[in-house]
Structure 1
Amino acid sequence: MPIPAPNLYPPFNIVRLSHVELGVTDLAWSRGFYVDTLGLQVTHEDAGHIYLRAMEERGHHCMILKKADQPSVGVLGFKVWDEADLDRAEHWFRGRGLPTQWIERPFMGRVLRTCDPFGIPLEFYARMDRLPPIHQQYRLYRGVRPLRIDHFNMFSSNVDQSAQFYSDIGFRVTEYTEDAETGRSWAVWMHRKGGVHDVAFTNGTGPRLHHTAFWVPTPLNIIDLLDLMSTTGYLENIERGPGRHGISNAFFLYIRDRDGHRTEIYCSDYQTVDPDLEPIRWDLKDPQRQTLWGAPAPRSWFELGSVFDGVPLVESDLKAQPIIAP
């Protein structure tokens, strides 16, 4: 199927991805992983929640860890330009027959809760509490020195349909993987903020969250994190990498927490702000698609993901497979 053409005048203006809520079974363990090891900063915590931000972020949080009986993902959050865009978003989603609800969220103004056609829970807001800058408080830097949240990657049972829906609300395709036998998209990368992606969709049983990514200063920060994790009890939480993606050209590492939530540590992709930027096509069987150096990903990377709370799963009917490590 053809890749959607850029929608330069969407029905409402999304600035960027913003935050994710992860249901975790052990808040203390998760704090040790995300705060003490990765280096995210705590902005609020209580008996049931920990709110986190990265070093360059001025908004109150980019990740919420919520105590839960079972691991899941509560919501993916996006920032819109202004309050009028929130009203336009509600009108647009209702017009598509998708549920809308105004909800209360700590540290945020009006929040619109809705979902995409596959059931992924989404929320949109224009205002979040602003915090003083900390990017020059170098005494706070630790772990992998995460600077900002970068993107979400989701498993989708129909990547072409996901790409079309998110194109309709203004996300633009930068790169995609095509299955040559069927002509269908196996994965797509789409952006709002001018990097390679704010959201990506990978073929598989979905919807599930494949990973949340954080941008870090340099590849050397990733090496430092690997040394730290391998000597502080987190060796088994290292899943894949380090390496350099063919798609996006980014240097990467994938790690998974005790509940199975996957985080990508990410740097060195490229600028995509031009409105006429042509998407880059990759063949599914190209060994440099996954890793520029040719190393395939492990099977867990293609099969394991985090479920969205209360959202039923659908198996993809596209059975094409990339190269998988033995």
Structure 2
Amino acid sequence: MSKPDYDPGPRIAHAGSINLGTPDLDRSLWFFRDLLGMEVVEQVGGVAYLRGYQELTHHSLVLTQQDQARVNSYGFRVKRRQDVELFQKQLENQGLETLELAAGHEAGRGEAVRFLVPGSEHPFELYYDIDKPLADESIRSKVLSNSSRRRGLGVRRLDHINLQTSAGTVNQAESWLREALGFQRREFARLPQAPDIILASWLSVTPQVHDLAIGMAAEDQTGQFHHVAFNVENFHDILTAADQIRDLDIAYGAGPGKHGIGQAMYLYVHDPGSGHRIELYSGGYLIFDPAWEALEWKLPELEYGQTWYGDVLDVGPGGTFLSTSPSAGLTP
């Protein structure tokens, strides 16, 4: 019995890359390349392209030398080549302004469409084509699923991105990410004193608990960046990182500890070249249930969601853990 063709429409595959602006590229390169062990795939002038040792694509991290420490773009790979154009048409039909980015706008990457998320104003770039270069023979691994040998603290891949926006826009942005881009809400919390407002929401398009999180910014601003997480293999790697980083001139954020939300172990530090918050992340659970119902964290259990064990995250008034970095606008 023949069945009609079914087209699910354009879809996001995963969080693919982030472009961090840094006032001190050399210091940032030391942090990501020499300490975390990421591979510099290509460097063109003041722009460096890096990846973890289990990433076969050209890059997941772009470091851009610039005066301001801001996030220039958040990149998401789509599932099919035609989805770039389909998403662009969908966005324009919603009245959103888009920019077409030619192939090579980021080295190794094909054409992309750039836009600002309604409400939150974060600059997203959607793309499909990306090169898969071999690592230099001097660091190439014999394991075919590794792009290079494990080095430094052993960053494997980009894990997730955490965004923040104002209290007045967080509901709009979170709903739009789910309805327009297909992210699924996995776990969430409401603001205790204003339960109609989302405090934070963990969203994914993969079996991970979150590829993307969005929450309310403490300073009530749109377009804010809280952190990007890079995955390491196991809990012991987090403890090793904490031990080694204590000896270095690096701003120690929070951890090591374990989140109740997502159930992964964390360590937050700051890139010494830019000040951007970086999370080293390991473990967590996966979701395979197609009928998953989002889990809501309420007081008093919410504190267990933030920290199951380890350092309690400083999220009180004026808490340093709530500090953020700005993002660029529509024009890259």
Shift of 1:144: 2.2
Is 1:182 the counterpart of 2:194 in the alignment?
yes
Shift in alpha-carbon separation, 1:120–1:246, aligned structure 2, 3 A: same
Q: Which amino acid aligns with 2:114?
A: R
Aligned partners of 1:183 and 1:63: how far apart in 2?
Answer: 36
Alignment RMSD, CA only?
Answer: 1.9
Q: 1:266 aligns with which of 268, 272, 281?
A: 281
SS where residue 222 of structure 1 aligns? helix
Shift of 1:113: 1.3
Quote the residue 2:12 is aligned against.
14
Report which stretch shifted further, 41-50 or 132-141. 132-141
SS where residue 113 of structure 1 aligns? strand
Quote the residue 2:248 is aligned against.
232
Aligned partners of 2:284 and 2:133: how far apart in 1?
Answer: 27
Q: Which amino acid aligns with 2:200?
A: A
Quote the residue 2:96 is aligned against.
98
Q: 1:280 aligns with which of 280, 295, 320?
A: 295
Aligned partners of 1:295 and 1:131: how far apart in 2?
Answer: 40
Quote the residue 1:199 is aligned against.
212
Q: 1:171 aligns with which of 161, 183, 194?
A: 183
Shift in alpha-carbon separation, 1:85–1:177, aligned structure 2, 3 A: same
Shift of 1:231: 1.9
Shift in alpha-carbon separation, 1:70–1:18, aligned structure 2, 3 A: same
Shift of 1:49: 0.9
Which aligned pairs between 1:29-108 and structure 2 lie closer than 5 A? 29-104=27-102, 105=105, 106-108=107-109
Give deviations 1:117-166, integer Å, cap 9, x for gaps.
Answer: 12211111111001237563798322321111111001121332222111
Quote the residue 2:324 is aligned against.
305
Aligned partners of 1:181 and 1:257: how far apart in 2?
Answer: 34
- Structure 1 residues without counterparts, runs of 5 or longer: 1-8, 312-326
Quote the residue 1:150 is aligned against.
159
SS where residue 94 of structure 1 aligns? helix
Aligned partners of 1:73 and 1:16: how far apart in 2?
Answer: 19
Shift in alpha-carbon separation, 1:153–1:10, aligned structure 2, 3 A: farther
Quick one: percent identity of the two aligned structures?
A: 29
Q: Which amino acid aligns with 1:155?
A: Q
Shift in alpha-carbon separation, 1:138–1:21, aligned structure 2, 3 A: closer
Number of residue-to-residue matches in the alignment: 300
Quote the residue 1:321 is aligned against.
none
Aligned partners of 1:81 and 1:301: how far apart in 2?
Answer: 34
SS where residue 271 of structure 1 aligns? coil
Partners of 1:11 and 1:92 within 8 A in 2: no
Report which stretch shifted further, 139-148 or 185-194. 139-148
Shift in alpha-carbon separation, 1:98–1:233, aligned structure 2, 3 A: same
Aligned partners of 1:161 and 1:219: how far apart in 2?
Answer: 36
Is 1:217 the counterpart of 2:233 in the alignment?
yes
SS where residue 92 of structure 2 aligns? helix
Q: TM-score, normalised by structure 2?
A: 0.85
Shift in alpha-carbon separation, 1:127–1:139, aligned structure 2, 3 A: closer
Report which stretch shifted further, 185-194 or 95-104. 95-104
Aligned partners of 1:143 and 1:301: how far apart in 2?
Answer: 26
Quote the residue 2:4 is aligned against.
none
Give deviations 1:267-297, integer Å, cap 9, x for gaps.
Answer: 1111123221111110154321210127531
The list of structure 1 runs, each at least 4 consecutive aligned residues, that deviate by more than 6 angstroms after superposition, is none
Quote the residue 2:133 is aligned against.
131
Shift in alpha-carbon separation, 1:32–1:182, aligned structure 2, 3 A: same
